[in-house]
Amino acid sequence: MAKRRFRASPEPAPEALSAEERRNRRRRDRELIRRGKKPPTGRSSGPWRRVLLIGVPTVVIVAVVAVLLFSNLLQAPCINFEGIPEESGPVDFPLHNTTDFTGTWCPSDVTNVEQIYPLLKISIEGQSVGIPPTQAATAQNPDWPSIGRNSSYPGGYACVLPIATHPPDASGGYPDGIIEIASPWPYSYNLSDFFHVWSTSFSSVSVNSSAPSQPIIYQPGDLLGYTADASHSIGLFVDGRPSSAGPGLVLNTLDYASGVYPSCLAKKYGTGHTILLSYTAVAPSARGAGLHPATLSTAGADPAIYEAGFGGTLQKVVDAPAKASDAQRDAALALGWLTLRPPGA
């Protein structure tokens, strides 16, 4: 005769027990374990239940943090910019007969650690100055002359310096005046470095028909051969605001176009930055302030001057209100000739 099996009735859930009953249950379980027996199945003892309640969420949080850290490791890390070592000398082209470019500023088969695209505009008394290349490369002329590039070495080797200029490309978001910093070294490049490379790439620059061959230079008191004096100042604007950095302005953090590398630089410093160098007449109200003309980088730094440097207009300055102060009217009149002068003058 077969034996009948009886299924033990399930014990009440811990939530249905009083605090005293739960303590007695844990005490019985510990006694069974001490005797080498197992507690009844189908339920967890109090301590283990607490471990599960606390441990599982902890494991999940640790796993999520680990995934985030691992994903960050896969991204290109941000770099710490260093100054160019003195022994390296200025950024420059190697000798024209060089065949081994290993120890030069344009070695072959290297990987860039930074790639940034600042935008520079230059305005001389309201006249925009073209920065090569002023036209995009074409199929007929793929090697359009640009700053920082030289392909006249033996064997046709093309030396591209860490500071060069990018051909304009409206569809790609590259207007005239884009500087391309593509460097295998995490160096900090500034406006002085750019003007040096420009001066080694071209012998002169044309400002207008009356000044077709100006020296390529930028110093606190000299911009393309136009010097600061009692009636003119040299201004540097970054994102529309006057800057006192001068030729030492660091370009690495002033990206304009997309494609900056590493991408974390764009997250840290942003994009769309603009740099404007201007040579303008100083408003009469700003004269006689006891400052040397070379230090008047913010004299007459009206926002309209900045707008004009980027193709804007000074008309709103000329149309000064009739009740404006004498100083405001003097400033408007002093700048008015810029809008009335004929093109190319």
Q: Which of 293, 301, 308, 277 is nearest to 131 (CA)?
A: 277
- Distances, alpha carbon 87 to alpha carbons 64, 84, 91, 99, 101, in Å: 47, 9, 11, 22, 17
Are 231 and 220 in contact by the 8 Å Cβ rule? The answer is: no
Place of tokens 């500071």: 163
Are 310 and 276 in contact by the 8 Å Cβ rule? The answer is: yes
Quick one: pLDDT at residue 191?
97
Q: Are strands 275-281 and 232-238 parallel, antiparallel or unpaired?
A: antiparallel
Edge-to-edge, what's the strand order for the sheet holding 232-238?
A: 127-129, 120-124, 275-281, 232-238, 241-242
- Distances, alpha carbon 312 to alpha carbons 177, 304, 317, in Å: 16, 8, 12
**Rg, the chain, Cα only:** 35
DSSP-based three-state secondary structure for 200: helix
Cα–Cα distance for residue pair 39/59, rounded to 1 Å: 27
pLDDT, tens digit only, all 345 positions of the chain: 555 554 545 555 555 677 777 778 778 877 777 776 666 665 544 555 555 566 666 766 766 666 555 544 445 568 899 999 998 999 999 999 999 999 999 999 999 999 999 999 999 999 999 999 877 655 556 566 789 999 889 988 999 999 999 888 877 788 999 999 999 999 999 999 999 999 999 999 999 999 999 999 999 999 999 999 999 999 999 999 999 999 999 999 999 988 899 999 999 999 999 999 999 998 765 444 433 344 333 333 444 444 445 544 333 223 333 334 444 444 443 433 333 334 444
Number of other residues whose CB lies within 10 A of the CB of residue 205: 22
Quick one: pLDDT at residue 178?
95
Cα–Cα distance for residue pair 125/109, rounded to 1 Å: 44
